[in-house]
Amino acid sequence: MARISFDFRFLLIPAAFMFIYLQMRLFQTQSHYADRLGSAIESENHCTSQMRALIDEVSIKQSRIVALEDMRNRQDQELVQLKDLIQTFGRKGLAKLVEGGQTPLAAVVIMACSRADYLERTVESVLKYQSPVASKYPLFISQDGSNQAVKSKALSYNQLTYMQHLDFEPVVTERPGELIAYYKIARHYKWALDQLFYKYKFNRVIILEDDMEIAPDFFDYFEAAASLMDRDRTIMAASSWNDNGQKQFVHDPYALYRSDFFPGLGWMLKRTTWDELSPKWPKAYWDDWLRLKENHKGRQFVRPEVCRTYNFGEHGSSLGQFFSQYLEPIKLNDVKVDWKAIDLGYLTEGNYTEYFSDLVRQAQPIQGSDLVLKAKNIKGDVRIRYKDQAEFERIAGEFGIFEEWKDGVPRTAYRGVVVFRIQTTRRVFLVGPDSVVQLGIRKS
């Protein structure tokens, strides 16, 4: 057999190519991993920088937290000191209350905040008539906040007990644009009334504001009202205020009325009523809340014809609303009425409807246009029917009395009837569409 010869040198050529190819692939792989390694190192450096920045930021925030904790601790210490001071004054006040050995008829609290000059005027007016009956009507000032001028003024009187409401909880309004003041006022009222009813154990409280003066018979009036409220549980509160109490609309300092509309501005309530109201007290607008039918539940309020308080507060949380038209012209009673000699039995639920119905029934009905002129030309009381709120507002505007309604009730109204004087002695009755039925008056 012939021998085949093969030159293995020919294999070196493809092997060389294969070696070159493998070296190129190896170089490419090394370059790829080198790039990835570079990116990883760069990312690591970036993360390290970010971590250092975060550590620095955390350190700064920790320093701030420590500073805030120190501030909070200082505030807590100050609060403890203030509470101790308040309790000291409270103990002194309680000692004063029991000195005479007489059970107080009602506490009197002046609600204050930041108007030291107004507060002084109010306190001086109250002390003028309260001093002779101080054992019956212990006087308190409840301050909301830490205004130093108000606090100093309150503490300058040794005839009263000072309370301070310190509220650090942020206020969150329910609607945009609302004044925070109305929320803080509601909180202050709840706190003060809780203190007076549950800490000091009073059975009744008379609430005044720091921009009021009182009449000479203020305390006698509320003593008579307290007796009336004890007899008649359908009276939710007694007020010293008449919304239509301007000089031109009042005459008789002895006249009292029942109303479905809460008057406020110098009023008295009992602890049993507060037991009901305190757990559901509103976040704001407490006075309008009391005017809701769901809260007064068919009960009524006693009010005078001639006011026993005068509101001089042109500047305050309400921004002087209605002051020049409705508040400034208010007539403050200047007659010392002997309320103990007057039988107020006609104001009880069983008697008042009949009493008031007779007054309305005897009034001469008028209608049509020029109602003010017609009323002035008639000798005696008159009554005017209105069919709805719009017509009431038109008629009220003609006479110049309050046009406002709350929850379907005009200010001062009883069974939809609003009464005021015109030309001194004569009464005008604005009678609602359902009033004649509620009062049992024959339509005419």
Q: Which residues contact 374 (CB under 8 A, 6 or more apart)?
A: 366, 368, 382
**Options 35, 243, 287, 334, the catalytic residue:** 287
Q: What are the DSSP calls for 10-62, one per residue? A: GGHHHHHHHHHHHHHHHHHHHHHHHHHHHHHHHHHHHHHHHHHHHHHHHHHHH
Provide the 3-class DSSP secondary structure of residue 6. coil
Q: How many helices (H) and strands (E) does the chain have?
A: 12, 16
Number of other CB atoms surrounding residue 114 within 10 Å: 16
The dihedrals phi and psi of 79, each to the nearest 5 degrees, come to -65, -40
Q: Which residues pair with 143 in a beta bridge?
A: 112, 164
Angle at 68 between CA 63 and CA 70, to 5 degrees: 95
* Residue written as token pair 């310190």: 166
- The answer to whether 392 and 410 have CB atoms below 8 angstroms apart is yes
- The answer to whether 144 and 167 have CB atoms below 8 angstroms apart is yes
For the chain, what is the largest distance between any 2 Cα atoms, rounded to a whole number of angstroms? 162
The gap between the terminal CA atoms of the chain, to the nearest Å, is 152
Q: Is the dihedral of CA 200, 201, 207, 208 positive or negative?
A: negative
Number of other CB atoms surrounding residue 284 within 10 Å: 20
Known active-site residue 76: no
Provide the 3-class DSSP secondary structure of residue 279. helix
Q: Which two tokens stand for residue 140?
A: 């308190």
Active site residues per annotation: 287
